[in-house]
Amino acid sequence: MSKLGMLLVVASLGVMLFSWRIYKKKRIRLFSFLLIFLGAATIGIFALKTEWLNAIGITFGLNRGADLIVYCAIIVLLYAVMSLYGKQSQSHQKQTEIIRAVSLEQGIGSFGTAECIFVIPAYNESDHALEVLEDVLKAGHGVVFVDDGSQNQLYQKVIKRFAGEKLLAIKHITNLGQGAALQTGFTAILQAENLPKYVVTFDSDGQHLLSDLPNFLAAFKKDPKLDIALGSRFLGSAINMPRSKKWVLKLGILFTSFFSGLCLTDTHNGYRVIKVSSLPQLKITMNGMEHASEILDLINEKKLNYMEVPNTILYTEYSMARGQKLSNSIKIVKNLIFKKLLG
């Protein structure tokens, strides 16, 4: 046996022993242990019997048996990366829950009693957000305002300006993402003694119009079994929307429809009205902008009744400057794929 063969045998035995020890300490799952243990054992056996490896390689159409080990190593590496990503996601989720619990305890004010409670997240928004909040409150609705770790003075301005109004102000100690902010708002509403009839998700940058709300509420009167009304700019209108944005959204529709199984005209519209009795079934676990696709997955998974409602999206220089970049879109796709693969 060559020196390389001896080295492989010793290394294989070491990996097998190490995997057994960490499995006994319950640091890895059974499947991971078996994959590592049997993989190391296989490499050790093939190091002793290279002719077996070559024979198997030829069976799979490979010129050398060593190529088979390379391909298997790539598969194992991909599995390891996915496992690490899954553990990282679990860690982030636990961190999110801790931050959410602390933020809810430190919330200021109350959204009071109203038919519709708006959940309005914000991150480093300008005074545009104050105008949005004022319009919603003047219309008689309650608001859960979630500051997602802004580094400006927005949270302090909101508390001062709307003291005594039907507004609950919550602030995350760090930026978690819009999905996490929405879920914080949902949790706050479900913890209240007097539940509203509807929960409205609404952007703080002025893109959504309060005047569209009657169209959403009319959908529930039309279909009493409706659980959620989803806004669609492509059934309504998108004022000043750049052509590039339109094509990105269209690609997003195809991608999300493929993964969620829902055929919609607009899959990333943040304007939604949810019947409060259906809210517990929409538990958002994806912190970033990919939450929009996760909500659609939950609608499909929980068999919720939904309807698209025409609405208007107003694109301004301010909202476009704060919009999603292409790099963020790629990140969203990556996170959604990992979510699907890992469950």
pLDDT tens sequence across 46-59: 667 767 666 665 66
Give the range with max mean pLDDT: 84-88, 148-152, 259-263.
148-152
DSSP 8-state symbol, 2: -
Name the percent of the chain in helix, strand, coil, to the closest 5: 55, 15, 30
pLDDT band at 310 (very low <50, low <70, confident <90, very high): very high
Model confidence at 68: pLDDT above 60 = no
* Residue 145 backbone dihedrals phi, psi, to 5 degrees: -100, 125
- CB-CB contact of 281 with 302 (8 Å): yes
Q: Residue 69: what pLDDT?
A: 60
pLDDT band at 251 (very low <50, low <70, confident <90, very high): confident
pTM (whole model) above 0.85 = no
pLDDT tens sequence across 267-301: 889 999 999 999 999 999 998 888 888 999 899 99
Q: What's the CA gap between 267 and 238, in Å, rounded?
A: 14
How is the chain split into domains, by residue range?
Answer: 3-97, 106-342
Q: Residue 107: what pLDDT?
A: 96
Q: Is 135 helix (H, G, I), strand (E, B) or coil?
A: helix
pLDDT band at 43 (very low <50, low <70, confident <90, very high): confident
CATH tag, 106-342: 3.90.550.10
Q: Residue 311: what pLDDT?
A: 97
Q: Residue 76: what pLDDT?
A: 63
Model confidence at 331: pLDDT above 80 = no
Q: Residue 320: what pLDDT?
A: 64
pLDDT tens sequence across 174-192: 999 999 999 999 999 999 9
Q: Residue 72: what pLDDT?
A: 64
pLDDT band at 263 (very low <50, low <70, confident <90, very high): confident
pLDDT tens sequence across 110-135: 999 999 999 999 999 999 899 999 99
Could you tell me which of 277, 329, 284 has the C-alpha nearest to residue 93?
284
Length of the chain equals 343
Q: Is 142 helix (H, G, I), strand (E, B) or coil?
A: strand
Non-local (6+) Cβ contacts of 11 within 8 A are 40, 43
**Who wins on pLDDT, 2 or 190?**
190
Q: Residue 2: what pLDDT?
A: 63
